[in-house]
Structure 1
Amino acid sequence: MEKFILLIDTVTAWVGKAFAWCIMIMAVGIGYEVFVRYIMRDPTSWAFDISYMMFGALFMMAGAYTLSRDGHVRGDVLYRLWKPKAQAIIEFVLYFLFFFPGVIALIIAGWDYAGESWSYNSGRGEVSVMSPANVPIFQFKSIIPIAGSLLFIQGIAQVCRCIMCIRTGEWPPHLEDVEEMELVMQHAHVYDLDDQGDQGSQGNQDGKGNMT
């Protein structure tokens, strides 16, 4: 079961990191728009569309990756006070009460939404009616059911993780590829204290290496 969990975590991590490049595309597009709008006095007709499409794609496709790293919002005020086994039992129940029904609804509605978008313009696909550039958007609407499917698969892995924790009393490990800034700062603080302690020890020694 642990190998299955790590496999799903690896797949969703790869997808999330791949779509993280949308940030670069969005930044370049916005930067270019600012330059041509305020310097060249010749704004584009497509930069706004690119920005919300890239952000939407990143937001949807990184959802499963965020779930695999426990990055979504939860009531930590109470949750962190419970023992791991109690946490796992609560999460197990909530996944079936709320998560899976919501994700299944997202997949079904997203599939219909994307299919309708592909059928526009005699099968050539929907374009944005809000954009003077008529940017095609049918391919981006197709992301909705795909993202929902990834969330569903990752949800299965999370349920397996809950089952393992209920059996053993400990949460199985995650793939360690990202650290929260709070942990990074804590580690940096510990290293600073260690360095200060080493310097203090050296300062208390005389020239012969004896402690003074």
Structure 2
Amino acid sequence: MPKALVAYVRFTNRISRWVGYVVMYSIFAMMGVLLYATYAKAFLIPPIWALEVSQFMMVAYFLLGGAYSLLMNAHVRMDLLYGTWQPRTRLLVDAVTAVFLIAFLVMLLFGGVSSTLYALEYGERSYSAWRPAMAPIKIVMCVGILLTLMQAVAILIMDVARLRGLEIDDGLPAGDPPT
């Protein structure tokens, strides 16, 4: 495998792992916001921002965790036939589906960038009573889609390498936090 592709795979895997670990622990911040909102609704004045902040945090959690999910092979897979196939057939099918995933993510990123530019240019705001700016969450959306796209390309490279009988090591021990 060319050194540039190996370097790309290692770089992308490290970024996906690092972002995944950071995002993984953001669930506690999300829980804190929801706990505060519940407490405030029961005993104080309900905050108008809590629902939208928790929704934005969930969007960030979901989209920024996409690359990590791909890296860890933790995504949902229809295992009706896949489990009975030979390893080489699985790799071939994985490579083909990675191409479709990459095409989908490119279209998604194109739409996300267009929407983000609109939000930045026109100062788009939510239609809620709180009316937060939409640009920050749309920027996070584009970053998450870009990271997932990068990881999908890295997975395609690793699948092609495996089909050729090569293995690309990301240089990180399995399961350890990034350094």
Q: State the TM-score, normalizing by the size of structure 1.
A: 0.73
Q: 1:111 aligns to what?
A: 113
Over the aligned positions, Cα root-mean-square deviation in angstroms equals 2.0
Whole-angstrom CA distance in 2 between matches of 1:35 and 1:115: 37
Please list every run of at least 4 consecutive aligned residues from structure 1 whose deviation after the TM superposition is greater than 3 angstroms: 1-4, 170-175
1:9 matches 2:9:
no
Partners of 1:106 and 1:144 within 8 A in 2: no
Which one-letter code corresponds to 1:60 in the other structure?
L
Runs of 5+ in structure 2 lacking a partner?
Answer: none
Q: Tell me what 1:149 maps to.
A: 146
Deviations 1:97-150 (A, max 9, x none): x21210110111000000101112xxxx322112x2222221101122222211
Partner of residue 61, structure 2: 58
Bigger relative contact order, structure 1 or 2 (CA pairs below 8 A, ≥6 apart): 2
Q: Give 2:175's aligned residue.
A: 177
The answer to whether the 8 Å contact 1:84/1:171 transfers is no
Give the one of 118, 133, 138 matched to 2:135: 138
CA distance in 1, matches of 2:101, 2:133: 31
1:32 aligns to what? 36
Q: In the aligned structure 2, how far is the partner of 1:79 from the partner of 1:173?
A: 24
Conserved? CA contact 2:69–2:75, under 8 Å: yes
Q: Could you report, residue by residue, the CA deviation over 1:179-208 in whole angstroms, capped at 9, with x for unpaired residues?
A: xxxxxxxxxxxxxxxxxxxxxxxxxxxxxx
Q: Distance in 2 between matches of 1:83 and 1:151?
A: 27
Give, in whole Å, the separation in 2 of the partners of 1:48 and 1:134. 12
Q: What displacement does 1:3 show?
A: 5.2
* Identity among equivalent pairs (%): 23
Distance in structure 2 (CA, Å) of the matches to 1:4 and 1:117: 32
For residues 22 and 140 of structure 1, what CA distance do their matches in structure 2 show? 15
Cα distance in structure 2, aligned partners of 1:53 and 1:20? 15
Q: SS state of the match for residue 32, structure 1?
A: helix
Say how many residue pairs are matched. Answer: 170
Q: Answer whether contact 1:84 1:165 (CA < 8 A) is retained.
A: no
Greater Rg over alpha carbons, structure? 1
Separation in 2, partners of 1:3, 1:142 = 27
Query: Which 5+ residue runs of structure 1 have no aligned equivalent?
Result: 179-212
SS of 1:93's equivalent in the other structure is: helix
**8 Å Cα contact 2:19-2:65 kept in structure 1:** yes
What's the TM-score once normalised by structure 2's chain length?
0.85
